[in-house]
Amino acid sequence: MTSGCSMGLVLFTTRNRRLLDFREHHQFSISQTNPLPGRIRHGGSVVFSMNRLTDRVKWLAAFWAFAGVASLCGQELSQVQVDETWIYSVGGQVVELYDERIDLEDISAPDAFGSDGPGSTPDFVSDDILRVFGVSTTGGTNLYAVSESLRIRQGETTYIQDLTVTDIPPRKPESLQIIAPSRTIPVGTTNQLRVIAHYADGGTNDVTRQVNWTSYRVSNSRIGIVSADGEIVTTGSGNLLITAGNEGATAVLGLNVTKLADQVVTLFGSVQDANGNPVAGVEIQLFGLEGIDSAITDSDGGYSISIVTEGLAVERIRLNIYAHIDQLNGHDWGGILRGISLPRSGRLEVRPLVIAPLPAVKENLRFTATAFHSLALRDDDSLWGWGMNSSGGLGDGTKTNRAFPTKIGGDTRWTFVAQGSAHHSAAVDRDGVLWTWGDNSFGQLGDGTVESRYVPQPVDGRWRAVATGRWHTLAVREDGTLWAWGRNREGQLGDGSTTSRRTPVQIESGERWRTVAAGDQHSLAIRSDDTLWAWGGNKYGQLGDNTSRERSTPVEIAPSERWLTVAAGPNHSLGLRSDRSLWAWGENSRGQLGNNSRVDRFGPILIEPSERWTAISAGGIYLGEGHSAAVRIDGTLWVWGDNEEGQLGDGTTQRKLTPTNVRADDRWLAVSAGGRRILALRSDGTLWNWGENWDSLLGDGTATLQTIPMIVQSEERWRSVAAGGSHTLAVRADGSLWAWGRNSENQVGDLTQGNRLVPVQPFGTSGRSWQALAAGWRHSAAIDGNGSLWTWGLNYDGQLGNGTTDEVRWPSPVKPEVQWKSITAGYAHTIGLLRDGSLWAWGANETGQVGDGTGRDQPSPVAIRVSDQWDAVAAGGGELGSHSLGLNPEGRVWAWGKNKSGQLVDNTDVDRFEPIAVLPAERFLGFGAGWYKTFLIRDDGLMFYSSWAGLSLVPGGSWRSVAASFDHHLALRVDGSLWAWGRNYEGQLGDGTQEYRFDPVNIGPGTRWLMVSTGEEHSVALRDDGTLWAWGSNEYGQLGVSPWRQVSGGAVWGVPDQ
């Protein structure tokens, strides 16, 4: 059974949750859990039934929530008979089925008035409550199907549970009664209403709460609002009508909300800098009440503001206090106190307001998320790109999509990249030269042709600002003149014509300009006097001139205002005024303006009046799409609008009509909103992105949609890696040493004790080349190119080998007079091989794991069996004891230490304090030491593992190496394939599940791997292309990235001009 249906707001059963695109026609199939005895064709009414009264009707339905229309389509039953007819009603009114759709536009909503207040036509709006009823008569028996209560949520997904079929008629009220404590109530109070339903049988029922299918509407939301529980909160004075609706019955109650007596509240406080010094001359503004004068701090930093309450209950109002001063020590300074609660009268002293230099509002960014690809500059000013490249928008000389950041432009050093929504790109280098590349269908590259370019090409002149629209380009030269080129059908070039241009043409030659922004078909620019101008397409009000007329020349927007910066989405615009207030205008079908509505706006409207901002960006691809992002002055990042691909980063795909905070604990410097994703620069210089990810638009090597921020990868090459308990060490191809993850015991070694979510270099290690690594439970070790051994981190048992048990914050030398060859670390002990083949060990020794025969902890290296030569060592174990393994040149294995679980393979459970031979008659290629297991790879490629019952064979063969942890294990075969088995609750096996695996499963089939290492609950591995990958638990940042992603190379995407 299939059905075509137009979709907007979507409602689904919990069993069939399939989301369809907004305003598009789809054919969708409905799965059937039981065989259908007959197939039904819908006529004037819906025809279907159930075999038994206890069966449930399974629904797939959608509401069309555009232009006030709602529709229901696509019904299905698990079992159907053709001899019963069902007729539906909504809101107490019978509805007919036309083309498998119920149109609600012809049905009165269960209210006394519509969304425009008394006198308007009743209609369905967001938050209305309704139910769908079905009735069927067969053989004189009435059957009834009743849905759950449905709350209409425009722009959001609602789920319909199964309909229950019964022979008991649903009880619906004939009338309602609203009861209030009084018909006259004061402003600023909360009162409980009651809604009583009256039935035909004389019975009554309290249906006050929305769970009883009662919805509320008020005539003026500025006077009062009603909660889902029927509480009326009054916020203003005047007459208020409240309507309650329930199952088609309605009631209206009129209230008189009266003012309180005027009172005066005096608010006073002080402003200071971070050092507690008072700051004079600071402007103080209050947000949350209208008509309050500002104040200026005196010489002692103090201020006082009197507030006349005008009959308001001010104790219910929360104020924000904003302090701002221009050009203090060369910077704008500011700060905010939020949530100030006023008394009804009297004086209120607030805590000191601390101000700090505000982040500069940047006209040019060093990164951009366009509709289909991303570009970013690193801190060395090199340019990198990733994503879709079919039109050459990456500029790497190919049309090949790039799954990871790829360097562009060779050794050129760049200053900034253009913000835009196009298949073409632009950037300016250090010399002020503008370069363009990519699609050139309308001459948007400015080179006089319509031929696409796959590497950057220069545009004549020296430039200081540039923006790319869908098919046009805007740029400002160093002399402040404005130029445009490309498509001009809607007048977006601003030269007074609609003729497209293949080379730059000057716009308004007598003016000087500061910055530009380009949407799909419109253009925005700020002159040197900070006035805002717009031109081009204007169907949705995106120009902001309070009309919908196209403009082929610049027209001034809000002439009396001054602007800091501006951003253009496909058909909407954002702007920051000089006071850092945020304004929005244009298309709003997805809530991209952030004003809690979906109505287009043709002139600027203020967004969140009590907040101040420092960075803005507007994104989207096509008509009907759009999202926005902005950074507040406190560094928090806020997003709103379309979220179909998770581009808002809040972990959902639900659109947001007002700004929503992303990663509340993080601080951000800048943001770029792309087609259906966002790219943002965090204050630590790391670059993050999220949202749509087909063709690896996020640069992570996958096509997996990301609904939360993930760090941008860098395609660095690595040559070795080691996983500790909850931290990771690795050496890049250039020999540099990096660490990340848990750092509370200084195991990262960067002089901090904060967990590191991305790779950082341990203190003092830069400039050296490193050759070997070991990561213990909470300590680290590394050997440099000269053979010197360095250790750091936890040292409670002497595992660092420096002769003490003191924790060490950064890499420190161990036995510097010798040269080391290799190193391994257990839970709290360490083993190393010198270049002469001798074996040394130190650290915890309670179960004999050091191997010196004493059982005493050893804080300095001690030689083990001095006469022997060794090729390899391994250290395992956990909190209850550890064991050690050694391999000599003849292929014989020796073991010592903890043996409770048979890990020494000597058919006993006796701990050994000196090495003993393991299966002397056998020869081995390698081994692995886990917490309670030993793995042995025999010279024929078979692998065995120990247990209290003896040795067992690991399925498969041709094994090359193995890494063992607490209870998960990874191994490489000689063909380079990676296999994993064991515990998997944190995804540490990397097979995409959390299922325990008793036998090895292939990880990343077809991929070849060089080495692997396991931590307590995470794994890391090095591919044959030199890329480093991590998966499993990321509680402490030990992956360096999101789960099962390539590890970042530690690149900083800098903003050097802060």
Q: pLDDT tens digits, residue range 251-284?
A: 899 999 988 777 888 999 999 999 999 999 999 9
E strands of 762-838, at which residues? 770-775, 779-784, 789-793, 808-814, 820-825, 829-834
* Token pair of 634 as six digits: 């406190």
Measured in whole angstroms, how far is the alpha carbon of residue 1052 from the centre of its chain? 19
Task: Give pLDDT, residue 5.
Answer: 25
CA distances from 971 to 795, 834, 869, 878, 892 (A): 30, 26, 26, 20, 20
Print burial letters for 802-813: b (CB count within 10 Å at least 16), e (below 16): beeeebbbbbbe
Report helix, strand or coil for 130.
strand
Enter the DSSP assignment of 1017: S
On the question of pLDDT at 566 being above 80, the answer is yes
Counting Cα atoms < 13 Å in the Cβ hemisphere of 375 gives: 35
On the question of pLDDT at 420 being above 50, the answer is yes
Q: What is the pLDDT of residues 954-1004, one digit of tens each?
A: 999 999 999 999 889 999 999 999 999 999 999 999 998 999 999 999 998
pTM for the predicted model, two decimal places: 0.63
Helix (H), strand (E) at residue 938:
strand 934-938
Task: Give pLDDT, residue 131.
Answer: 64
Report helix, strand or coil for 212.
helix
Closest CA to 454 of 425, 420, 411: 425
Q: What is the pLDDT of residues 384-403, one digit of tens each?
A: 999 999 999 999 999 999 88
Task: Sort 754 into a burial class: Cβ within 10 Å, 0-12 / 13-18 / 19+.
Answer: exposed
Helix (H), strand (E) at residue 287:
strand 283-287
Alpha-carbon distance of 314 to 576, in angstroms, equals: 30
pLDDT band at 1046 (very low <50, low <70, confident <90, very high): very low
Q: What is the pLDDT of residues 46-70, one digit of tens each?
A: 222 222 222 222 222 222 222 222 2
Alpha-carbon distance of 471 to 450, in angstroms, equals: 11
| Highest mean predicted confidence (pLDDT) among 200-204, 483-487, 690-694, 927-931 | 483-487
Task: Give pLDDT, residue 130.
Answer: 62
3-state secondary structure 884-930: EEEECCCCCEEEEECCCCCCCCCCCCCCEEEEEEECCCCCEEEEEEC
Task: Give pLDDT, residue 30.
Answer: 21
> Which of 14-18, 655-659, 671-675 comes out lowest in average pLDDT?
14-18
Please say whether the beta carbons of 933 and 904 come within 8 A. no
Residue ranges and CATH numbers for the domains of the chain are 175-258 (2.60.40.1080), 261-289+313-326+344-357 (no CATH), 366-711 (2.130.10.30)
Closest CA to 122 of 136, 110, 139: 110
